[in-house]
Chains A and B, each alone.
Chain A
Amino acid sequence: NAGVTQTPKFQVLKTGQSMTLQCAQDMNHEYMSWYRQDPGMGLRLIHYSVGAGITDQGEVPNGYNVSRSTTEDFPLRLLSAAPSQTSVYFCASSPFPGVGYEQYFGPGTRLTVT
């Protein structure tokens, strides 16, 4: 199993550009989520999904969209990039929602918005 994969690993955007961060998992996990990690802030939840066709907002959803058309994929879209979105983005999955299940993290995407 590849686990959780994320692409790209690095990305530089100009303010106002849009892009999609890709996330895929091959473990048939129902729960998937996106976090951003900023220095001194820990991980903050952006959006999450409890299954195909179901998404919901996390702690910091503004400026981001998600969709979950398949169990495997959970892309994160930046609609109009802003410097405040410079961060490292992690995708994670687990068999089901809840802290009772181990979360598997991808390697991250380091995004810089200039």
Chain B
Amino acid sequence: SQQGEEDPQALSIQEGENATMNCSYKTSINNLQWYRQNSGRGLVHLILIRSNEREKHSGRLRVTLDTSKKSSSLLITASRAADTASYFCATERGSYIPTFGRGTSLIVHP
């Protein structure tokens, strides 16, 4: 079973709007990553956040981590059509094995 689960499963917005997706997990973690997958392609790493960090930024991406709630969020500001993709969080299952959720499918309409 997945350690991390993304929410919502699907998100449809207009270009220029912000997109927020969430990841909840069950057991304590040391690290959490977010990945993007364009249709028909492999996953691409976006950002890593460690358990002692609360927020990280990378360009138009903002990731937060709330270890008390066992959740993380990925915010994409000023979305573009090129941001259309599926987004996955990866957390640790057991001692170190990365485990992915089912992903959030984001569609950004031009």
Given contacts A42-B88, A42-B103, contact A97 B45 (CB under 8 A): no
Chain A 21-65, CB-CB to B under 8 Å as 1, else 0, gives: 000000000000101000011110100100000000010000000
Cross-interface CB contact of A99 among B33, B43, B101, B102, cutoff 8 Å: B33
Contact of B30 with A99 in the complex, beta carbons under 8 Å: yes
Contact of B43 with A42 in the complex, beta carbons under 8 Å: no
Given contacts A42-B2, A42-B88, A43-B88, contact A102 B100 (CB under 8 A): no
Chain A interface size range: 20 to 34
Q: Which residues of B contact A (CB under 8 A)?
A: 2, 29-33, 35, 40-45, 48, 50, 88, 90-92, 96-103
Contact of B42 with A107 in the complex, beta carbons under 8 Å: yes
A-B contact pairs, 27 of them (CB 8 A): A33-B98, A40-B102, A43-B88, A45-B99, A97-B96, A98-B30, A98-B31, A98-B92, A98-B96, A98-B98, A99-B29, A99-B31, A99-B32, A99-B33, A99-B48, A99-B90, A99-B98, A100-B31, A100-B48, A102-B45, A102-B48, A103-B35, A103-B45, A103-B90, A105-B44, A106-B42, A107-B41
